[in-house]
Amino acid sequence: MAAGNPPSITGWNINGLIAGDPAFLLIIDGAGFVSGSSVRWNGSPLNTTIHGATQLTADVPASLIASPGTGVVKVLGRAW
């Protein structure tokens, strides 16, 4: 990934989550994922696994989807 080009998300497997649903594995498709990339849900860091430059998975605990609201998903590049 060239300097200044942040990772991007093109899709994920979130469809119809309901408050109180159980924990799940979030699958994120995109570009520019590198070693050290991490996923955040409403600012909370998630346990993230990198599956190459175009896919990440992250464990979303039930506690983060226990209450109604909007979830903001971000992918951060490696920390320098």
Give the per-residue pLDDT at 1: 41
pTM of the model: 0.85
pLDDT tens, the chain, 80 aa long: 445 568 889 999 887 889 999 999 999 999 999 999 999 999 999 999 999 999 999 999 999 999 998 889 999 986 54
Query: Pick from 49, 8, 13: which is nearest to 31 by CA?
Result: 8
Tell me the domain boundaries of the chain: 8-76
